[in-house]
Structure 1
Amino acid sequence: MTTSGEQWPVGPWVPPGWASGPSAPKPGTVPLRPLHPSDIISGVFATAGRYRKPLYLPLLVLALVCSLLLGGCAWAALSELGRLPADGGQPADGQFTRAAWVVGIAFGLALVCATVAYAATAALSTTVLGHAVLGRSVTAREAWAQARPQLGRVLGTQLLTAAAALGILAVSALPSILLGVTLNSPAPALYGLFMLVPGLIGALYLGVRLVIAVPVAVMERQRPAAAIRRAWQLNHGAWWRSLGVTYAVRAVGSAVSQTITSVVAAVALRLVLSDALTTEQLDVSTLSAADLTLLIVAVGGAVVLTTTLSAPLRPLAVGLLYLDRRMTRENLAAGLAAAAGLPPELQHG
């Protein structure tokens, strides 16, 4: 990774076959040449393995904070809902309004927490990847210190991209809504649901085309709007490649997470619910509050842990897609080889 005030090195454009042979230098987790999909996938897991402390220690702390916040929000919301009459009676004056406010605030805080955690994961993963590609060591404290100033750019880029995708969906549904309002009939709006199909396709295309916007914002220190414009141009002609690589990495991470969670849940059920199991049915009434708490903590902890472990995989893949586009189109590989301190003869393949 370059130092705090620098951008990634840029070299003149050369044909995309530069250093594509086996002699391509590899100071870090990927060779410095245009990358094959297998290079990207293996580079993701190599980075996650070699840089697990700077990558996962800050994320585990973040996951713990978010879990405590979300747990508190859920407890407050459930406690307030529990005060409402359970027999269908009318709630006391202001009771329903207070419950609605508590639930709304809890949901809003949960949404904000998830959004910030997603942005922090992307910023930290991209920062660590910058060190991994150059083969440089970095501590968890250093990685977080370098990623933290990028949170604003990353969050703005993600929100702007999401707003653009939602705008496409809104435009695709707008004609049918206007027609329904004009004719005072819900039928056009129902038929207008079919118009969401091209809107969904357009939103998918936009999301994949702009998938490298966050690495642009972090590695090139670009503002959100500029990062989106740059990503749109840089990722031209690589839509299917971007879709395939990100889907493959996400599928692997999801499979591992589900496997671990299933195993933990099965063990917890076996240990905690053994006394409540009959021949064919589960008697939940025999469970104590301690048993239920242990079960919830075990399964919830497994979900948090596996989510944290798999969260950086997609940002790492997206970061490598960004590097691939620049090494293919702008000879970034030569600049990275020089930044890694390789001898001049290795900097040119």
Structure 2
Amino acid sequence: MIPLRPLDVGEILQGAVSTLRQHWRTAMVLAFVVGLLTESVNALISGLLIDDTRIDDLNRNSDPSVSDILHALSGTAAASLLLIVTSMIGVVLTAGLLTTVISRAILGRPTTLCSVWQDVRPRLTLLVGLALLIPLALCAIVAVPAAPGLLIALAGGESAGASLASLGLLIGIVVSIWQWNLWSLAAPALMLEKQGIKAAMKRSLKLVNDSWWRVLGVQLLMMLIAGIASLIIQVPFALIADAAGDNSINSVFSASGDSSWTTIIIVAIGGVISSTLTLPISAGAVSLLYVDQRIRREALDIELGRAAKVPGYEAPAARVGAER
């Protein structure tokens, strides 16, 4: 499926697409289950937390205080944050599940749903724990620098508190992006190296540390490709809901709007379909990035060649015996 040498960006993308094409049943079933779970949660979040009446009241207020702004935006901000968290959980889960498919494909082993499930089942609890821990840790990284400013603003120093909170939020976002990239290969490490959650996160730090910018660039490119494809898939569903009179086109682009449950369900169906088609590509790229980093740092290509019984990769003793 991939050449047994360090991979360039095109080969990582080609490998992810090849996995989806050759083993589409297994990959899409796994992505569908994850997409169904995450989009169902997203639909509930959108329906229960987002309320446009608060924003309308804020727009009618000519001189809103910081408390008024926080009250008006609290529901939308909380919903947006939860939507980001559930999306990240879905990506981590799919990356861990697809790693098993890709590892089997590289070694030429069966990739049926049953065979993959046998490998995944003993590690599933740890994978779910990792998928929950990483987004929560990143949210804490963002929230901690912004908390002092928010407390000052609520205590009465609105101008100074808002400025300090904005600066803290910006710092937190930058640090969280840095840390997210360092932890991005934790799911493949957890699944393939049979490590615990903490050990897998440390393993990811080690693999990414000296190649931070390269790993980030590849991931951003894959996210851009998956995002464009997802948008193309979801827009028709928003148009269908819009034609029904729900005015939902904005719900594709943001977590705002006073949408009905009909709109939310239609858009969620589009989200499940887009997740089923795009998650295997983005998650597959993460898995292949893990393989690539280990090839570059630890000569994993030799181990893979021997495991797959590729000619020329035999152990020295076996090679000497074959020559005799």
Output the TM-score relative to the length of structure 1.
Answer: 0.65
User: Partners in 2 of 1:227 and 1:293 — Cα distance?
Assistant: 40
Match of 1:308 in 2: 276
User: Partners in 2 of 1:229 and 1:37 — Cα distance?
Assistant: 25
Match of 1:3 in 2: none
Match of 2:128 in 1: 155
Match of 1:206 in 2: 179
**CA deviation after TM superposition for structure 1 residue 176, in Å:** 3.2
Match of 2:109 in 1: 136
User: Partners in 2 of 1:66 and 1:196 — Cα distance?
Assistant: 26
The AA in structure 1 aligned to 2:18 is A
The AA in structure 2 aligned to 1:156 is G
Give CA deviations for 1:80-125 in whole Å, capped at 9, x if unaligned.
Answer: x9xxxxxxxxxxxxxxxxxxxxxxxxx9xx9898787555423321
Shift of the 252–115 alpha-carbon distance from structure 1 to 2, 3 Å rule, reads closer
The AA in structure 2 aligned to 1:303 is G
Aligned pairs for 1:172-211 within 5 A: 172-177=145-150, 184-192=156-164, 193-211=166-184
Match of 1:286 in 2: none
Unaligned runs of 5+ in 2: 52-78, 246-259, 317-324
1:230 aligns with 2:227: no
Match of 1:41 in 2: 13
SS of the aligned residue for 2:2 comes to: coil
User: Partners in 1 of 2:177 and 2:40 — Cα distance?
Assistant: 33
Given that residues 41 and 245 in structure 1 are in contact (C-alpha distance below 8 angstroms), is that contact kept between their aligned partners in structure 2?
no
**CA deviation after TM superposition for structure 1 residue 65, in Å:** 6.6
User: Partners in 1 of 2:13 and 2:191 — Cα distance?
Assistant: 21
SS of the aligned residue for 2:209 comes to: coil
Q: Which moved more, 1:295-304 or 1:37-46?
A: 295-304
Match of 1:60 in 2: 32
1:334 aligns with 2:302: yes
User: Partners in 1 of 2:188 and 2:208 — Cα distance?
Assistant: 12
The AA in structure 2 aligned to 1:204 is I
SS of the aligned residue for 2:309 comes to: coil
Shift of the 269–236 alpha-carbon distance from structure 1 to 2, 3 Å rule, reads closer
**CA deviation after TM superposition for structure 1 residue 296, in Å:** 7.8
Shift of the 60–176 alpha-carbon distance from structure 1 to 2, 3 Å rule, reads closer
SS of the aligned residue for 2:194 comes to: coil
User: Partners in 1 of 2:37 and 2:150 — Cα distance?
Assistant: 42
- Percentage identity across paired residues of the two chains: 29
Given that residues 39 and 271 in structure 2 are in contact (C-alpha distance below 8 angstroms), is that contact kept between their aligned partners in structure 1?
no
Given that residues 34 and 324 in structure 1 are in contact (C-alpha distance below 8 angstroms), is that contact kept between their aligned partners in structure 2?
yes
Aligned pairs for 1:1-349 within 5 A: 29-61=1-33, 63=35, 118-177=91-150, 184-192=156-164, 193-263=166-236, 268=240, 300-344=268-312
**CA deviation after TM superposition for structure 1 residue 309, in Å:** 1.1
**CA deviation after TM superposition for structure 1 residue 304, in Å:** 1.8
Give CA deviations for 1:191-249 in whole Å, capped at 9, x if unaligned.
Answer: 21212222211111010121111111111111111111111112112111111111111
Shift of the 189–178 alpha-carbon distance from structure 1 to 2, 3 Å rule, reads same
**CA deviation after TM superposition for structure 1 residue 30, in Å:** 1.0
SS of the aligned residue for 1:138 comes to: coil
SS of the aligned residue for 1:342 comes to: coil
Given that residues 93 and 187 in structure 2 are in contact (C-alpha distance below 8 angstroms), is that contact kept between their aligned partners in structure 1?
no
Given that residues 2 and 106 in structure 2 are in contact (C-alpha distance below 8 angstroms), is that contact kept between their aligned partners in structure 1?
yes
The AA in structure 2 aligned to 1:57 is V
SS of the aligned residue for 2:136 comes to: helix
Given that residues 58 and 144 in structure 1 are in contact (C-alpha distance below 8 angstroms), is that contact kept between their aligned partners in structure 2?
no
Match of 1:94 in 2: none
**CA deviation after TM superposition for structure 1 residue 150, in Å:** 2.0
User: Partners in 2 of 1:70 and 1:203 — Cα distance?
Assistant: 22
User: Partners in 1 of 2:313 and 2:38 — Cα distance?
Assistant: 49
The RMSD of aligned alpha carbons is 3.7
Given that residues 95 and 287 in structure 2 are in contact (C-alpha distance below 8 angstroms), is that contact kept between their aligned partners in structure 1?
no
**Larger helix share, 1 or 2:** 2
Q: Which moved more, 1:155-164 or 1:304-313?
A: 155-164
Shift of the 155–190 alpha-carbon distance from structure 1 to 2, 3 Å rule, reads same
**CA deviation after TM superposition for structure 1 residue 171, in Å:** 3.2
Given that residues 141 and 176 in structure 2 are in contact (C-alpha distance below 8 angstroms), is that contact kept between their aligned partners in structure 1?
yes
Shift of the 316–346 alpha-carbon distance from structure 1 to 2, 3 Å rule, reads same
Q: Which moved more, 1:253-262 or 1:328-337?
A: 253-262
**Alignment length (residue pairs):** 271
Output the TM-score relative to the length of structure 2.
Answer: 0.70
Given that residues 180 and 189 in structure 1 are in contact (C-alpha distance below 8 angstroms), is that contact kept between their aligned partners in structure 2?
yes
User: Partners in 2 of 1:260 and 1:125 — Cα distance?
Assistant: 22
Which of the two has higher C-alpha Rg?
Answer: 1
**CA deviation after TM superposition for structure 1 residue 259, in Å:** 1.6
Given that residues 250 and 313 in structure 1 are in contact (C-alpha distance below 8 angstroms), is that contact kept between their aligned partners in structure 2?
no
